[in-house]
Structure 1
Amino acid sequence: MGEHAAVAAVDDPVTVDRIAADLRELGVEAGDTLLVHTSLSELGWVAGGPQAVVDALQRVVTADGTIVMPTHSTQYSDPSVWMNPPVPDDWIPQIRESIPPFRPEVTPSRGMGAVAECFRDYPNAVRSRHPLYSFAAWGADAEDIVADHSFENAMGEESPLARVYDRDGSVLLLGTDHASNTSLHLAEYRADLDAGRVTETAPVLRDGERTMVEWTDIEHESGDFLVAGSTFEGQRPESVETGEVGAGTATLVDQPALVDFAAEWMADHR
């Protein structure tokens, strides 16, 4: 929603205190490992914008827990397959040769929302090294969750998603739905699927020098994520809590239960 609609959606400004209270009511607790996907515009008019959301999350989870957010930077994908919009063919070599190397500390995310972009730059937040599919984390286990993020199979077993799973973490969909739930990508790797593979390249910084790296990955598919997630909610209601944060719908999901369910569901339905 636009800013006029955001004002109209709430009777009072959505504050840090209100967001924190709503999160606790939903079931978020101190010490949780929480993988967060957000749409700030769905929460109504937030006093302080994305900073207020991050502050509230940190207040509730505390430094004894860990907050994780996707900070993907798809501007480092292959420009020859860009479609929205496509770029002229003669631009493609220039883009590949000139784009600055991915640097976790400074490279902006793309399409992840204002909250994730704000969060990645917070004090003591750390970010994984993957040039396309990085995650940022803050809190007790932040370093361990983002460490050694494999370029190959980037959302599989050697990814922050799997580290959240190992810690019996939760997914918080804050004004979003399962269509953007990255944990369902982990289910793709664990499902019995005959997924195709693609080769990716991107520039990174190594020993102060711009270096091209190449890796392979499965062909990710998110077209059925909404159906898979909705089916999970219907069949496993004990693993899901729903409520409101500000004006937005919020869903708190047991991540390991979701991934296990979705891996079987994808094997049966894809």
Structure 2
Amino acid sequence: MREEDVIKQLKSPHTRLSLYKDFKNLGVEKGMVVIIHSSLSAFGWVCGGAIAVVQALMDTVGSEGTIVMPTQTADISDPSEWQMPPVPKDWWPIIRDHMPAYDPQITPTRGMGKIVEVFRTFPGVKRSSHPMYSFAAWGKEADYILSEQPLEEGFGSKSPLAKIYELDGHILLLGAGHDSNTSLHFAEHAIPNREKVKKGTAIMENDKRVWKTYEEIVYDSDSFEELGKEFEKVYTVKCTAIGSATCKLMKQRPIIDFAREWLPNQVKPSDM
């Protein structure tokens, strides 16, 4: 949609102040630990764009709160897995030998949206060390949440998602659906005998760039949207429209616990 058409859809522009009021009305409070999934375009026209959204979120939770966003980098992965787009097989060894190592400071996100990409560059925002499944965080609990994230089980029991669970944090969906709800990957570790695959990535190890291989479970978000709909039939989820964006706020623990029960029942024996 053209920017002109987006502007015509709004009576007045979103601003840092109006978004702050919107987030408060949704239920976001000072001191909250909240993991956020977002779509800037879903809001309509925002004065200041992604910067204003990030500032409004920081205003809402305050320095005593904590904001977390997934900053994934799927392009620093084994090229044999690439599908969008795939690359020729004879390129694979070249990519493995020359892919720049993950660097929390400079490696950009891929497919995470403008708000996330802007957030990771903000002063005071820190980022975890996982080369593919990293998270960025700002606020009181940022250091603890990012304190460890093993290469294997990047969304598992020692991940930032697990720390948010321990802290009884919230999930905030801003124009994004449950298919983008990264927390649900934490619940996938409850599926018995989950298939594992070999992964590869470029990292720094002992001050040297290396191509590292490791094992990880097969993460699959295909059922997350259906899972979210079933969850919302049973549990209270605060919901409002901010511009054209449907925004939802919920506790993380209940949906993780629900997913741990629900997901194993969706896995066919042939998938395990």
**What's the TM-score once normalised by structure 1's chain length?**
0.96
After TM superposition, the structure 1 = structure 2 runs for residues 90-169 of structure 1, keeping only pairs within 5 Å, are 90-169=90-169
Q: How far is 1:2 from its partner?
A: 4.6
Aligned-residue CA RMSD in angstroms?
1.2
Give deviations 1:195-232, integer Å, cap 9, x for gaps.
21011121112343212322211001111000001110
CA contact (8 A) 2:33 2:169 kept: yes
**What is the rounded CA distance, in whole Å, between the counterparts of 2:9 and 2:93 in structure 1?**
46
Aligned partners of 2:214 and 2:103: how far apart in 1?
A: 18
Q: Deviations over 1:144-174 (max 9, x none)?
A: 1011111101101111111111110000000
Letter in 1 for 2:253: P
Which residue in the other structure is 2:35 paired with?
A: 35
Contact 1:19 1:246 in 2 (8 A): no
Structure-2 separation of matches of 1:7 and 1:254: 33
Instruction: Identify the residue that residue 248 of structure 1 maps to in structure 2.
Output: 245
Task: Give the aligned partner of residue 211 of structure 1.
Answer: 210
Inter-partner Cα distance in structure 1 for 2:247 and 2:83: 31
Q: Is the 8 A contact 2:77 2:202 kept in 1?
A: no
State the match for 2:257 in structure 1: 260
Match of 1:60 in 2: 60
Pair 1:18-2:18 in alignment:
yes
Give the superposition deviation at 1:92.
1.2
Identity %: 42
Of residues 81-90 and 130-139 in structure 1, the stretch that sits farther from structure 2 once superposed is 81-90
What amino acid is aligned across from residue 213 of structure 1 in structure 2? K
The AA in structure 1 aligned to 2:120 is R
The runs of at least 4 consecutive aligned structure 1 residues that moved more than 3 Å come to: none
Shift of 1:254: 0.8
Query: 1-side partners of 2:246 and 2:109: how far apart?
Result: 24
Instruction: Work out the CA distance in 1 between the residues paired with 2:2 and 2:36.
Output: 22
Task: Name the CA distance, whole Å, in 1 between partners of 2:95 and 2:232.
Answer: 42
Query: SS state of the match for residue 249, structure 1?
Result: strand
